[in-house]
């Protein structure tokens, strides 16, 4: 992807054109060289002033920059408007040179509209009331988190599983659900923990099984002890047999 542009000195004001195969963009600046540098940086970063200009760069792989007229900065907007009316550039966001921030204003209006719709959507969502086994009631997970000193994620997990929290010392549930038997929950928790331990034993990552212990013993059998291993063994003996 390339850019074609003339060499310019600093501080030259005037009207310029950025063109590609399917169209062009017309703009003005009090320093054309600096402005062209800004265009190149923004286009490469995907933050072009004109979305159409960026798409043309991506599609065709090149942009050509040329100066249409060098003029005093006091008549820049007038000259730019004349060029826009004469050539009708396809890539310009607005055909009004005196309203250069039109594109930003339009984006702000779209964002404000979408954000307003987002707020309305949030208002339509039903917050799930959370209750505790000791009679406390919270209007939302955020309120429960603040009152109990836990994170919102922890509140959601505790309320979903209904398992007693060791930190808070209470059970939680969503008000639209029934309480589950705590004994059954403890059995499920214990069974889940045992499955986790068995999995780690098979992988040899925790609590080695007898089979893994035999394999390790066979692998070490007949090897001479290194000084490091001997020191570690002596340290463990002192710890277990003071």
How far apart CA 208 and CA 31 sit, in angstroms, is: 73
- pLDDT at res. 122: 55
- pLDDT at res. 6: 62
Q: What is the mean pLDDT of the chain?
A: 77
Is residue 192 within a helix (H) or strand (E), and if so which, with residue range? helix 182-203
Alpha carbon distances (Å) from 7 to 32, 33, 61, 67: 11, 8, 21, 11
- pLDDT at res. 115: 60
Stated pTM of the model: 0.41
- pLDDT at res. 133: 81
Nearest alpha carbon to residue 17 among 84, 71, 96: 84
Tens of pLDDT, residue by residue over 22-33, are: 888 888 888 888
At 162, phi and psi to the nearest 5?
Answer: 65, 15
CB contact at 8 A, 9 and 67: no
- pLDDT at res. 1: 47
How far apart CA 102 and CA 176 sit, in angstroms, is: 50
- pLDDT at res. 129: 80
Query: What's the half-sphere exposure (Cβ side, CA atoms, 13 Å) at 21?
Result: 8
How far apart CA 111 and CA 242 sit, in angstroms, is: 71
Residue range(s) of every CATH 3.40.1440.10 domain in the chain: 2-97
- pLDDT at res. 242: 56
User: Which parts of the chain register pLDDT below 70?
Assistant: 1-7, 99-127, 201, 204-209, 239-242
CB contact at 8 A, 57 and 49: no
How far apart CA 144 and CA 148 sit, in angstroms, is: 6
- pLDDT at res. 174: 85
- pLDDT at res. 102: 44
Q: Is the dihedral of CA 83, 87, 90, 96 positive or negative?
A: positive
- pLDDT at res. 37: 84
Tens of pLDDT, residue by residue over 83-127, are: 888 888 888 877 777 765 444 445 556 556 666 665 666 555 556
Alpha carbon distances (Å) from 225 to 73, 124, 185: 86, 70, 49
Q: Which CATH architecture has domain 2-97?
A: 3-Layer(aba) Sandwich (3.40)
């Amino acid at each position: 992807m390339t850019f074609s542009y003339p060499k310019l000195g600093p501080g030259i004001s005037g009207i310029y054109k950025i063109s590609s195969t399917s169209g062009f963009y017309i703009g003005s600046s009090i320093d054309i060289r600096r402005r062209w540098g800004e265009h190149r940086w923004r286009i490469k970063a995907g933050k072009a002033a004109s979305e159409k200009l960026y798409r043309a760069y991506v599609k065709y792989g090149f942009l050509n920059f040329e100066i249409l007229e060098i003029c005093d900065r006091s008549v820049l907007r007038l000259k730019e408007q004349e060029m826009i009316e004469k050539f009708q550039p396809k890539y310009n966001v607005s055909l009004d040179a005196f309203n250069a921030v039109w594109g930003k204003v339009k984006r702000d209006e779209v964002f404000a509209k979408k954000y307003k719709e987002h707020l309305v959507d949030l208002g339509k969502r039903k917050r799930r009331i959370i209750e505790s086994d000791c009679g406390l009631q919270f209007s939302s997970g955020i309120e429960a988190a603040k009152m109990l000193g836990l994170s919102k994620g922890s509140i959601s997990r505790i309320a979903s599983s209904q398992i007693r929290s060791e930190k808070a010392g209470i059970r939680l549930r969503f008000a639209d659900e029934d309480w589950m038997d705590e004994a059954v929950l403890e059995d499920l928790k214990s069974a889940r923990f045992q499955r986790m331990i068995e999995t780690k034993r098979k992988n040899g990552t925790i609590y080695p099984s007898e089979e893994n212990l035999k394999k390790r013993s066979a692998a070490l059998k007949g090897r001479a002890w290194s000084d490091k291993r001997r020191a570690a063994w002596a340290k463990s003996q002192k710890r277990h047999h003071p």
